[in-house]
């Protein structure tokens, strides 16, 4: 069954806009957001601890690893600092730590000027470094994921580096969808959807888990959810909808749309 990972970075962004120097005093609280997402049916919680700490803070990671009851997915750059933090918070009994997570470390490219992650990680262009990073994270007890473009060369490189999971970047598909007003028959939309499909097929053939995400919303998610994908990671659309209906209801609605599309995709496969 398809699973939903809810990215709560935007909850922290709202808090930091008002309380940049005192996250422990500010609201909304990402921990409460994670709890509401779980009650809405989230199968995982995603956070991105950026090098500049623009939204999620170290304190958030510490609290979330203790209180999240589902999978905790830590997005991060492949830096020595982030590797150290991920392993320290992984809850390994050998280290005498308590807490359950994070369970998955997802390596992403990171630009200081970008609003959100744009474009996939170039695993093929830095394969020796990626092998080293993956090995260190796996030794720390983490599953390791790569956020990549729908590029078969990058998929092959992920397998060579030892990644457990590949999350395919769906931004190009989502942007093509928006540009044509949601017409699924448009060639550009079909091309990007097929690129995601091909990448996912190769990921599965190589024994890795096929996830997908970026810029997915309630209107464009169904064709992606209909693919044989294990998990979708969605944040902005859900947090935006929650302004009007509440986070628990927004998560439940997204999960329903995903599951219905996934079941229909399996029926017609």
Active site residues: 48, 75, 214
Alpha carbon distance 74, 77 (integer Å): 10
The three-class DSSP label of residue 24 is coil
164 and 143 Cβ atoms separated by less than 8 Å = yes
Structure tokens at 177: 């969808």
187 and 223 Cβ atoms separated by less than 8 Å = no
56: enclosing H helix or E strand: none
Alpha carbon distance 50, 82 (integer Å): 9
Alpha carbon distance 31, 12 (integer Å): 10
3-state secondary structure labels for all residues of 90-149: CCCHHHCCCCCCCCEEEECCCCCCCCCCCCCCCCHHHHHHHHHHHHHHHHCCCEEEEEEC
């Amino acid at each position: 069954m398809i699973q939903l990972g809810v990215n709560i970075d935007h909850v922290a962004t709202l808090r930091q806009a008002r309380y940049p120097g005192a996250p422990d005093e500010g609201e909304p609280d990402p921990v409460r957001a994670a709890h509401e997402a779980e009650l809405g049916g989230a199968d995982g919680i995603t956070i991105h601890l950026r090098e500049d700490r623009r939204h999620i803070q170290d304190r958030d990671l510490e609290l979330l690893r203790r209180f999240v009851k589902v999978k905790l997915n830590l997005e991060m750059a492949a830096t020595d600092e982030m590797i150290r933090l991920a392993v320290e918070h992984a809850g390994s009994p050998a280290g005498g730590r308590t807490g359950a997570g994070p369970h998955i470390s997802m390596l992403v490219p990171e630009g200081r000027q970008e609003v959100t992650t744009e474009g996939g990680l170039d695993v093929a262009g830095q394969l020796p470094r990626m092998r080293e990073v993956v090995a260190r994270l796996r030794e720390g007890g983490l599953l390791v994921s790569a956020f990549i473009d729908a590029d078969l060369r990058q998929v092959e490189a992920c397998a060579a580096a030892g990644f457990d999971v590949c999350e395919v970047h769906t931004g190009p598909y989502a942007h093509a969808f928006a540009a044509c007003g949601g017409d699924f028959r448009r060639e550009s939309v079909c091309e990007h959807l097929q690129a995601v499909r091909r990448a996912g097929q190769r990921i599965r053939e190589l024994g890795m888990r096929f996830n997908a995400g970026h810029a997915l919303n309630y209107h464009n998610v169904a064709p992606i959810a209909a693919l044989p994908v294990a998990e979708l990671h969605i944040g902005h659309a859900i947090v935006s909808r929650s302004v009007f209906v509440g986070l628990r209801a927004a998560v439940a609605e997204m999960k329903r749309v995903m599951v219905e599309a996934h079941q229909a995709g399996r029926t017609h496969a």
